[in-house]
Amino acid sequence: MASAKKKKQAMAKKKLAVRKKVELKKRLALKKKLDLKKKLAFKKKLELKKKLELKKKLELKKKLELKKKLELKKKLELKKKLEFKKKLELKKKLAFKKNLELKKKLAQIKALKKQKELDKRRALAERKRLQKEKQKEAQRLAKERAKLKAQQIAERLALKVAKEKQRLEEKQAREAVKAAKIAAREAARLAEIEANRKPVAPPKPPIIKGVMQDGITPTKEFNIEFLTSQRELLTVERRNLLGQADQLESAANAIVENSEMGDVQFDDEGGEGDTMVVERERDLTLSASARQTVEEIDEALKRLETGDYGYSARSGLPIPRERLKAIPWTTELVVERAGGIGSY
């Protein structure tokens, strides 16, 4: 029992010793780990410190480089300013020099202009003097030509009058023979007319008139709208015809004035003088015809006021509107003008 107890104690001691060894070993291992961890932490601290020192060195290096760059930039800017200042001074000198040269040129140009103006005035005065002399000479020559033309015209007119007198005498003789024949034929015609005389024309139908409006009297056949449009047509046509008549009369008078001034030149046959007379007679005839139509238009405007517009002056029948639109101043039907109905 005692040996067994001793064995147990020995075994317990051994276990305790083993346990202590294990714990010691664990402690040693833990201590090693802690030491290693401390060493690693210290190493990391050193590395971090080195990195920070390196970063500071790099930052310091960058600051130094930046400072150098700024100083270099300032030097360059100062150099540029100095160069720019020199350029400005040089530019001012050149501008001043150019201004002096420009002033000299302007003075020279001004002097040349004054000289040119003086030359122009002298040349103009000389041209005016020559023109006056030419005008005087031209007037003298024109007077001489006018006198010569007047003499030629007088001679030709005298010759023409003599020829015309001879022609008229021959014409009168021929016309006397014709007149005798015409008188015989007229007597026979009158006798035939007397034998075939038409009956007396019937009375004109009455015109039913309305109340006057705006200077126009409407009728049964022609209302106020149609008559107003006709008055406008008559007014426009009257204005146009008066303008034509004035122009034609002015042209005829101009022909006479030109002939008096000697502008018309006569050749050996006197053809241009005859043409001038024919043109003048034609213009006067056309002008008289236009004025005659104006008188007829004035009569038509009066008939618009009295209510007689649009009716035949022969038969009293209404004239078709188409004919009135074509010839607003007409006073007869187409058949009456042609010698048919209503020509009593």
pLDDT tens, residue by residue, 208-249: 999 999 999 999 999 999 999 999 999 999 999 999 999 999
Length of the chain: 344
Q: Do the domain assignments include residue 88?
A: no
Helices (H), 197-333: 224-261, 271-306, 321-326
First CA to last CA across the chain, in angstroms? 197
Under 8 Å between Cβ of 262 and 149: yes
CATH label of the domain that carries residue 326: 1.20.120.910
Q: Which domain holds residue 336?
A: 204-259+280-344
Place of tokens 């026979």: 188
Q: Which candidate, 343, 285, 291, places its Cα nearest to that of 312?
A: 343
Q: Do the domain assignments include residue 106?
A: no
How far is the C-alpha of 141 from the C-alpha of 190, rounded, in Å? 65
Write out the two tokens for 77: 């800017």
What is the pLDDT, as a whole number, of residue 165?
79
Q: For 264-321, what is each residue's pLDDT tens digit?
A: 554 545 555 567 778 888 989 999 999 999 999 999 999 999 999 999 998 899 999 9
Q: Do the domain assignments include residue 287?
A: yes
Q: Do the domain assignments include residue 138?
A: no
What is the pLDDT, as a whole number, of residue 155?
83
Q: Quick check: 328 pLDDT over 60? A: yes
Strand positions, DSSP E, 212-266: none
Weakest mean pLDDT among 160-169, 170-179, 201-210: 170-179
How far is the C-alpha of 237 from the C-alpha of 228, rounded, in Å? 14
Transcribe 293-329 into DSSP letters.
Answer: HHHHHHHHHHHHHHT-TTB-TTT-PBPPHHHHHHSTT
How far is the C-alpha of 31 from the C-alpha of 144, rounded, in Å? 156
Q: Do the domain assignments include residue 43?
A: no
Write out the two tokens for 319: 């004239």
What is the pLDDT, as a whole number, of residue 115?
93
Q: Do the domain assignments include residue 286?
A: yes
- From residue 343, give the alpha-carbon distance in Å to each of 132, 190, 275, 303, 335: 72, 17, 41, 22, 8
Place of tokens 């009956």: 199
The predicted model gives 183-204 an average pLDDT of: 67
Q: Do the domain assignments include residue 325?
A: yes
Place of tokens 């010839």: 327
Structural domain tally of the chain? 1
Q: Do the domain assignments include residue 245?
A: yes
Task: Provide the β-strand partners of residue 209.
Answer: 219
- Better-predicted residue by pLDDT, 168 or 81: 81
The predicted model gives 41-62 an average pLDDT of: 92
The phi and psi torsions of 216 (rounded to 5 degrees) equal: -125, 135
- Better-predicted residue by pLDDT, 129 or 174: 129
How far is the C-alpha of 232 from the C-alpha of 216, rounded, in Å? 12
Under 8 Å between Cβ of 280 and 260: no
